[in-house]
């Protein structure tokens, strides 16, 4: 494990002994499987606004405009052709029928999570802030109380992208493109949990520690903003022929207006977070979010699994670069963000392995299928390829890590979106770096208790991972 600690502007690395047993806390090779709470996997890619009629640029990094322009260039090249359909990215939805979690130790019995109802933004229609199919966008809000009454956590939902007319039209028939198909209620787990302590194990000291570690956000106003524009809450365009509305930026603005009217304008603390496509959105909108509040408000951003690396795929091509028309590298977005930002990422990100490193278009013969389904089935050359990817990620965040205001937690797991699930956010056996769970690390960073710049050693040294296994 490498723990990067900031000291007077310098970053030093501390190596811990490599653990040869990566699966299981003890010497046992036994693994347990836990179904995740998610829905069916959907075939998706990157958004395709065919033309931009109007783009909101106020307060946004110029690179965000480049993202939108790149999407247009790529969409115009692909259109709705069969070649374009072949470029679809598989969305890692963590289908509970198709995915399980390989973890260490024994699982603890968890209390039923809080379930929060869906609200639609009624004012959105007047500004055209609508989903792909023209329906109203939605969110789930659980009110804060006590010391958290004036603190706000906004989580931007993830869910991949669509990159052709056909894929975006299909997306209209799912919760990712229409509020008609959104769940009316969602469980609030992980960073959205309302519990100060989760599953006490009967040891008083452990119970106290759990309470301290989870008390940072449990009583805040917590919001999950649903994702239905197909473009990480950016873009302002439409396709009349296909009856598609690409209104991500308008949805963002309408949602922020809604939350401000519900008390967020009085916030003394705020955190913008997001997972995957939502993690990318939390980077893109980070400085805009900061500008919503007075300077006296403590505002930071968290990107979970939103650091998409411009790396060679298994065929030697550049899947993500091709999707964005060669205009922009998503990994360079963080250099433009002025607001304090925390990057939470798995070094062997399961979505990137599935969708951008070894997608069917780059692996037509399926040589990577077993490795993608279960990392334990990867051969030596495949592991080396993944190690090279991990090294590129570590190198890509070095400049970012030099800023005293930024934070890092990059573990060597085959995972994706670790802040949303209770077992990875904080549990007795959740992933750790420097003996700190993700929840503790992010809390320490947000409240300026200690700097957090943690980068794991290379696979297979980490025995705390909750690795995704596809059936």
Would you say 358 and 368 are in contact if contact means Cβ atoms under 8 Å apart? yes
Q: Catalytic: 381?
A: no
Rounded CA gap, 325 and 351, in Å?
20
Distance, CA of 406 to CA of 454 (rounded, Å): 11
Which of 310, 349, 423, 462 is catalytic? The answer is: 349
Q: What is the DSSP letter of 115?
A: E
Q: Which helix (H) or strand (E) holds 43?
A: strand 43-44
Taking the C-alpha atoms of residue 205 and residue 211, their distance in angstroms, rounded to an integer, is: 10
Q: How many residues are recorded in the chain?
A: 471
DSSP-based three-state secondary structure for 352: helix
Spell out where 221-268 has E strands: 221-225, 237-239, 244-246
Check if 236 is active-site: no
Q: Could you identify the residue written with the tokens 């692909």?
A: 78
Give dist(CA 46, CA 68) in Å, integer.
11
Question: Is-catalytic flag, 377?
Answer: no
Q: Of the listed 142, 285, 375, 416, which one is catalytic?
A: 416
Which letter, b or e, does each residue of 60-77 get, where b requires 16 or more Cβ atoms within 10 Å of its Cβ? bbebbbbbbbbbbebbee
Pull the structure tokens for residue 7: 């000291």
- Count of alpha carbons within 13 angstroms of residue 102, beta-carbon side: 20
DSSP bridge partners of 376: none
Q: Quick one: which of 359, 385, 331, 462 has its CA closest to 18? A: 462
77-80, long-range: CB within 8 Å, 24+ apart, which pairs? 77/325, 78/48, 78/163, 78/164, 79/164, 79/165, 80/164, 80/165, 80/166, 80/242
Cα separation, 140 vs 117, whole angstroms: 6
23 prior amide bond cis, ω within 30: no
Structure tokens at 116: 């929060």
Question: Quick count: other Cβ atoms within 10 Å of Cβ 205?
Answer: 7
d(CA 348, CA 409) in angstroms, rounded, equals: 13
Among 104, 193, 273, 276, the active-site one is: 276
Residues 6+ apart with CB under 8 A from 98: 41, 470, 471
DSSP 363: -
Would you state the structure tokens that stand for residue 403, as one six-digit string?
């800023």
Take residue 36 and report the two structure tokens written for it.
């995740």
Rounded distance between C-alpha atoms, residue 454 and residue 451, angstroms: 9
The residues assigned a catalytic role are 276, 349, 416
């Amino acid at each position: 494990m490498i723990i990067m600690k900031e000291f007077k502007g310098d970053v030093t690395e501390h190596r811990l002994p490599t653990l040869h047993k990566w699966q299981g806390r003890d010497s046992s090779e036994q693994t347990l499987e836990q179904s995740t709470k998610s829905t069916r996997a959907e075939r998706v890619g990157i958004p395709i606004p065919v033309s931009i009629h109007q783009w909101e640029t106020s307060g946004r990094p110029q690179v965000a405009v480049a993202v939108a322009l790149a999407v247009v260039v790529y969409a115009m090249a692909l259109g709705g052709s069969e070649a374009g359909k072949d470029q679809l990215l598989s969305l890692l939805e963590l289908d509970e029928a198709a995915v399980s979690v390989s973890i260490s130790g024994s699982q603890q019995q968890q209390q039923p999570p809080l379930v929060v109802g869906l609200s639609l933004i009624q004012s959105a229609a007047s500004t055209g802030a609508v989903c792909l199919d023209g329906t109203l966008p939605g969110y789930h809000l659980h009110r804060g109380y006590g010391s958290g009454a004036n603190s706000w956590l906004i989580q931007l939902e993830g869910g991949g992208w669509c990159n052709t007319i056909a894929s975006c039209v299909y997306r209209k028939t799912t919760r990712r493109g229409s509020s008609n198909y959104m769940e009316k209620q969602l469980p609030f787990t992980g960073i959205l949990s309302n519990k100060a302590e989760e599953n006490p194990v009967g040891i008083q000291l452990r119970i106290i520690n759990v309470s301290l570690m989870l008390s940072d956000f449990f009583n805040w106003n917590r919001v999950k903003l649903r994702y239905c524009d197909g473009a990480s809450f950016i873009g302002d365009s439409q396709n009349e022929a296909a009856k598609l509305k690409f209104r991500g930026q308008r949805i963002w603005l309408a949602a922020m207006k809604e939350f401000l009217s519900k008390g967020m304008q009085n916030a003394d603390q705020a955190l913008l977070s997001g997972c995957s496509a939502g993690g990318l959105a939390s980077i893109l909108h980070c400085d805009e979010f900061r500008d919503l509040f007075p300077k006296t408000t403590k505002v930071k951003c968290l990107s979970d699994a939103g650091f998409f690396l411009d790396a060679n795929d298994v065929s030697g091509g550049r899947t993500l670069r091709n999707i964005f028309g060669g205009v922009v590298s998503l990994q360079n977005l963080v250099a433009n963000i002025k607001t304090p930002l925390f990057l939470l990422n798995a070094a062997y990100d399961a979505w990137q392995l599935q969708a951008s490193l070894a997608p069917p278009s780059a692996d037509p013969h399926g040589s990577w299928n077993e490795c993608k389904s279960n990392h334990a089935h990867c051969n030596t050359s495949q592991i080396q390829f993944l190690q090279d990817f991990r090294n590129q990620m570590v190198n890509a965040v070095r400049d970012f890590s030099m800023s005293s205001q930024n934070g890092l937690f990059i573990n060597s797991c085959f995972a994706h979106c670790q802040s949303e699930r209770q077992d990875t956010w904080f549990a007795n056996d959740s992933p750790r770096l420097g003996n700190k769970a993700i929840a503790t690390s992010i809390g320490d960073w947000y409240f300026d208790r200690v700097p957090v710049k943690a980068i794991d050693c290379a696979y297979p040294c980490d025995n705390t991972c909750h690795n995704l296994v596809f059936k």
